[in-house]
């Protein structure tokens, strides 16, 4: 995966919540948006987190940070990006693993919640 960071996506757009078209996003765009969401969760400047990602090649995070970052991305694009079974600690260990998870969900299509017997 390309580890370049393309700048803070929040500064590069004029769209509101639910308007980001994730199905058209590149891996680099998803990466930048996820880093932006994680920066908000950690209350850090985006540039600081992006530099850490660039220098280390990836960033580890705990499951609560991952869930919060995914929630922020879901609000940005207006759709669910993960199912409960996706949210196991080993699957949420790094920014890279989250990007892969989100990429799989985007290729599969919208996450549907179905209840048995209804």
Q: Where are the domains of the chain?
A: 9-108
* Top mean-pLDDT range of 3-7, 59-63, 90-94: 59-63
The CATH T-level fold of domain 9-108 is: 1.10.1200
pLDDT at position 2: 40
* pTM of the full structure: 0.71
Residue 7's alpha-carbon distances to 12, 45, 109, in angstroms, are 8, 12, 27
Where does the pLDDT of residue 92 fall: very low under 50, low under 70, confident under 90, or very high at 90 and above? low
Residue listed under structure tokens 């991952």: 66
pLDDT at position 62: 86
pLDDT at 12 over 60: no
Residue listed under structure tokens 């609560």: 64
pLDDT at 14 over 50: no
pLDDT at position 17: 47
């Amino acid at each position: 995966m390309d580890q370049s960071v393309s700048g803070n996506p929040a500064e590069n757009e004029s769209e509101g919540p639910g308007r980001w078209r994730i199905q058209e996003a590149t891996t680099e765009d998803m990466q930048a948006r996820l880093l932006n969401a994680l920066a908000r969760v950690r209350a850090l400047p985006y540039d600081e987190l992006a530099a850490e990602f660039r220098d280390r090649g990836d960033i580890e995070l705990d499951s609560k940070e991952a869930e919060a970052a995914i929630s922020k991305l879901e609000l940005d694009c207006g759709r669910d990006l993960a199912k409960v079974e996706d949210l196991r600690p080993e699957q949420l260990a790094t920014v890279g693993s989250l990007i892969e998870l989100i990429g799989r969900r985007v290729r599969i299509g919208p996450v549907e919640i179905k209840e048995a017997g209804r």
